[in-house]
Structure 1
């Protein structure tokens, strides 16, 4: 799959043009010692005259966010596990979010007492997992005006957690990376064999460290590629794309895309096309 610079990668965002005309969206690298487990920080600020619903086809990643809806209350922290359905976030008034996107497989060392599947499809107060994620900690992260200060606050928060090295987390992260990068990976059983694992061992590893099954990860990355393609090409050969992404046929791609995004890929592509 195509490798992109983090500032231009909008895969997973439904209608990225619509979102980016309404919010200030940035990504930043964490401090070097944190990069093994953290993919990037993402920051969003908005000041909207009318509400807007942002929709995401989530990555197989856990996110820790510090948020401030300025018209609704004080800053707070939230932990969001891997979300298997379309994620919708309603934005209104003025606000900001400072998020930590952990690498798929990279969150478990920060909360080793529970399998990552414990948090799948859940959003809960960050203090429930990290007692340090108090309202004051959230305020320290989200209130600075300068991005450098927000990034420094995120670095300080995560560095204080000091996770122990975990070889199984490293293995899980590498396996997810291979699934994402290699379109020849089409069957979980074949992938497990190629990696010297039983299918059951691979499934147990993903449940404990990623939060979802390897098959779900494979299908999710396919859908994200199809979503990105639909948003940038109005004349897609869907049968050819289905074959490229490893689907048995076009009908399977259309079914999965519609179930995930809520509309067929052709309708999405038409809506995304420039007027």
Structure 2
């Protein structure tokens, strides 16, 4: 599998985030790479609060967190499963803290929690012990000061949970990756035909393994692309981009973008 992607898709005003926190991505163990996008690590030590914003990927995350100081004072580490987020995600950071996260590939979480469809976790953030059969200790992941030791702890905890072989998960991951990579796939019916599935079968596959329908995934990846263009290219031709992304017109793209991100594309133009 390829190394973690270097892009910042989904992170709103990524350059601002990176001036406030130390953010990096790391590869998991080889046996885990078919199921995981990457590990993501954040550490911060702030004199003023900062709010980060993310347009979530169609992915489940397992997140280990510790807020060492701030308005709430010190808080022991905890682990939660963050189901696929439907709206803009905001997180207030203050004082000192640390997060070690696991971003699963779309479709890649269920082999670690095979008992229920992934759609059951969509839009929810739940303690890890409510979702996983043998949740790892937050201290084992968060305590090591050495970053490689934290990565090794993440590897151990995930390998202890599985993954359980599941052809359905393999198919869902492959289809979701096709959506991400192929900009010409703009309609659910078109995707279903390309995969040799009925629309209903494709919808069931995505509900069970990804957590949302294929139409939602197509639109979310297109919004990610639009956000990246908005933040990097002040001369973006929005009418042309709307057509490229499968929208009927520029106004439709701007409406979806604004509803998802909270502001129109022009608000994110480079200064």
TM bucket by the smaller chain?
Answer: over 0.9
The equivalent of 2:20 in structure 1 is: 22
Is the counterpart of residue 216 in structure 1 residue 216 in structure 2?
yes
For 2:49 and 2:239, how far apart are their aligned partners in 1? 37
Paired residue for 1:125? 127
8 Å CA contact 1:58, 1:87 repeated in 2: yes
User: Quick check: 1:67–1:76 contact (8 Å CA) kept in 2?
Assistant: yes
What is the alpha-carbon distance in structure 2 between the residues aligned to residue 147 and residue 123 of structure 1?
Answer: 25
1:32 to 20, 27, 30: 30
Change in Cα spacing, 1:164 to 1:138, as seen in structure 2 (3 Å) is same
Q: CA deviation at 1:268?
A: 2.1
Deviation (angstroms), 1:197: 0.4
Equivalent position of 1:189 in the other structure: 189
- Distance in 2, Cα, partners of 1:126 & 1:12: 24
2:101 aligns with 99
User: CA offset at residue 131 of structure 1?
Assistant: 4.8
Q: Which runs of 4+ in 1 moved over 4 A?
A: none
Equivalences, count: 266
Q: Which residue of 1 aligns with 2:79?
A: 77
Is 1:88 equivalent to 2:90 in the alignment?
Answer: yes
Task: For 1:221-232, list aligned pairs within 5 A.
Answer: 221-232=221-232
Q: Say whether residues 1:110 and 2:112 are aligned partners.
A: yes
Q: CA deviation at 1:193?
A: 1.4
How far did residue 6 of structure 1 move? Answer: 3.1
Partner of 1:238: 238
Measured in 2, the distance between the counterparts of 1:75 and 1:191 equals 42
Distance 2:162 2:267 in 1: 47
Q: Which runs of 5+ in 2 are unaligned?
A: none
1:47 matched residue in structure 2: 45
Write out per-residue CA displacement over residues 188-243 of structure 1, whole angstroms, 9 at most, x where no aligned residue. 01210121100000000000000000000000000000000000011211001111
Structure 1 gap ranges (5+): none
Secondary structure in structure 2 of the residue aligned to 1:79: strand
1:198-217 pair list within 5 angstroms = 198-217=198-217
Q: Deviations over 1:92-134 (max 9, x none)?
A: 1100100000010000111111100000000011111125335
Tell me, in whole angstroms, the C-alpha distance in 1 between the residues paired with 2:267 and 2:32. 41
1:61 aligns to what? Answer: 59
Aligned to 2:53, the other structure's residue is in SS state strand
CA contact (8 A) 1:98 1:141 kept: yes
SS at match of 2:102: strand
The answer to which of 220-229 and 259-268 deviates more is 259-268
CA shift, 1:30, in A, is 0.3
Determine if contact 1:59/1:220 at 8 Å carries over to the other structure.
Answer: yes
TM-score, with structure 2 as normaliser? 0.95
What is the TM-score of this pair, normalised by structure 1? Answer: 0.94
What SS is found at the alignment partner of 2:236?
Answer: coil
| Distance in 2 between residues matched to 1:190 and 1:82, nearest whole Å | 24
Deviation larger for 114-123 or 162-171:
162-171
What's the secondary structure of 1:259's corresponding residue? helix
